[in-house]
Amino acid sequence: MTGTMNLRSRAQLLGCVLGLRSLALVLWGIPGARALDNGLAMTPTMGWLHWERFMCNTDCEEDPDSCVSEKLFMQMADLMDSEGWRDVGYEYLCIDDCWMAPQRDSKGRLQADPKRFPGGIRRLADYVHGKGLKLGIYADVGKLTCAGFPGSYGYYDIDAKTFADWGVDLLKFDGCHFDTLVDLADGYKYMSLALNRTGRSIVYSCEWPLYMMPFRKHMPNYTEVREYCNHWRNFADIYDAWQSVKSVLDWTSSNQEKIVDAAGPGGWNDPDMLVIGNFGLSWDQQITQMALWAIMAAPLFMSNDLRQISPQAKALLQDKDVIAINQDPLGKQGYRLRKEDNIEVWERPLSDFAWAVAMVNLQEIGGPRFHTISLASLGGGLACLPACLITELLPVKGKLGFYEWTSSLKLRINPTGTVLLRLDRTN
């Protein structure tokens, strides 16, 4: 009788396994929301952006090595080419605010500051392209940029054509100094269409949802935002501190039911820059940012000084296994599965029925903590069904071994640190 019951139980389990796997095939095949039809950003955009590290430093006499200038971007392009950054996917070298001259030219076109960019943006774009990279630039939907330079309001077509003529490959479009929410929305939509009309492939990075938030009781219409933008900011600018990174994660997890499904090939939620390699984060906190930005399918824009970055931070940012999670072609954003006793568990579905799992220790007092997780609780019960190979990617790379669906896994996590795992199902 016992043998019969065991056979029956195994048969029922097998039936359950096959049923769940069939369901997974259906769920994995559901297309995401309609995306901006420019064929770009099919995986999250990767590159370097000057703002968090270099801000609006325009004093090239006092600080020639760190001012926003042609020299700075050419040096970064050289390093992205020679130090392996481009080869692992960091392709876009992006200018943020404060590159412009104070006025437009006689034909109404934006122009670069002639002292800091003596060759103009066209020459810089040619230089960047010669390194196998792409150039990003900054403008604003309103009458002025956030730093007070000329905005694009009333000049959307002219500016789009100017950027295309210069050979620009990405536009970060900020949202300062607009009059009404209608102007804000119409401006973002119009610039999207204007960029497409140029015939040049230009990634469109929006801050539309961010600037809507303070004025509306309801969340932005992400279906609409996705139809016009390749990625979009939702939350305040990041800065080089753990509290800032933690605030981004808190906002994202609190709003994940509204934003996660909006992300997918061609359009992504943008939690802002990677500040790894700067001054404000501990090593464990840098690991947490890299791991969670991979889980969130976030655009990876570093803002640091590649001339001075430590070998340890460079290795983290260039970790091919972590980047592979971020760039996974399935294109589904991860989410926080649960939080208990200051431990958060995040997960993300990957192609080939694999999963990425991150466990974050948010406790900021005491030492490392152990956390045990049931594998059957991951991926809606599918992540390790019927068994899986578990590989630790961060903080230490190594295969943890094969585990069955009914197993548990116990891990040690440093304060404010994260353990990032990859689960590959086996038959």
The residues that are catalytic are 174, 237
Structure tokens at 366: 């005491």
Instruction: Look up residue 112 and give its DSSP letter.
Output: B
Angle at the Cα of 85 from the Cα atoms of 83 and 89, rounded to 5 degrees:
155
CA dihedral sign, ordered 360, 365, 367, 369: negative
> Helices marked H in 319-399 — which ranges?
320-326
CB < 8 Å & 24+ apart, contacts of 306-311: 306/48, 306/76, 306/79, 306/80, 306/83, 306/85, 307/75, 307/79, 309/277, 310/277
How many other C-beta atoms lie within 10 A of the C-beta of residue 315?
10
Residue 136 buriedness (CB in 10 A; 0-12 / 13-18 / 19+): buried
Nearest to 326 by CA among 204, 222, 420, 208: 420
Nearest to 290 by CA among 306, 304, 275, 307: 275
310 contacts 346 by C-beta, under 8 angstroms: no
Structure tokens at 292: 């969670």
Cα(48)–Cα(62) distance, rounded to whole angstroms?
A: 24
Q: Are strands 134-140 and 170-174 parallel, antiparallel or unpaired?
A: parallel
131 contacts 78 by C-beta, under 8 angstroms: yes
CB < 8 Å & 24+ apart, contacts of 115-122: 115/60, 116/58, 116/60, 116/67, 116/68, 116/69, 116/70, 117/69, 117/70, 118/70, 119/70, 120/166, 121/166, 121/168, 122/165, 122/166, 122/167
Give kind and range of the element (H or E) at residue 24. Answer: helix 2-28
Q: Which residues contact 308 (CB under 8 A, 6 or more apart)?
A: none
Instruction: Look up residue 279 and give its DSSP letter.
Output: S
Nearest to 400 by CA among 376, 378, 381, 375: 375
Cα(288)–Cα(85) distance, rounded to whole angstroms?
A: 20
Instruction: Look up residue 221 and give its DSSP letter.
Output: -
